Amino acid sequence: MGCPDRIGTGPGPGRRTCQGRHGGNTRTLTAAAQPDDGRSPRPAVIRRLRLAARLRAFVSWFDAVLGGQDYQRYVDHLQRSHPGCEIPSEREYWRRRHADADTNPQNRCC
């Protein structure tokens, strides 16, 4: 027989070899196994999920800066505080809001 340290070193069915980040030792992993060093077997997937979450947070923040949710907030306010009041269309809301900003400039540079 061969040396005991060489038994099972090659990839077999359902196995793959995995080399460390910086070269180094080659080890064989089964499909359900995790690396010996404690890292997740799929760090790229986790990084993509984190990136997607950060992107959604940025889009939400940017939408808030531009006032994307202001009309819905105004409608909610009208329904809560003034139940009998007529709710303007979104177009009319923005028209009134921009007209008010032009006639009463506050905290603006121009």
Q: Which residues contact 103 (CB under 8 A, 6 or more apart)?
A: none
Q: Are 72 and 78 contacting, i.e. CB atoms less than 8 angstroms apart? A: no
H helices of the chain, where?
A: 43-66, 70-81, 90-103
pTM above 0.75, yes or no: no
> How far, in Å, are 64, 94, 103, 110 from residue 106 at the CA level?
19, 17, 10, 10
Q: If you average pLDDT over residues 89-102, what whole number do you get?
A: 93
Spell out the domain ranges in the chain: 1-39, 43-103
pLDDT in tens, 4-41: 454 555 555 555 555 555 555 555 555 555 556 666 66
Q: Are 44 and 63 contacting, i.e. CB atoms less than 8 angstroms apart? A: no
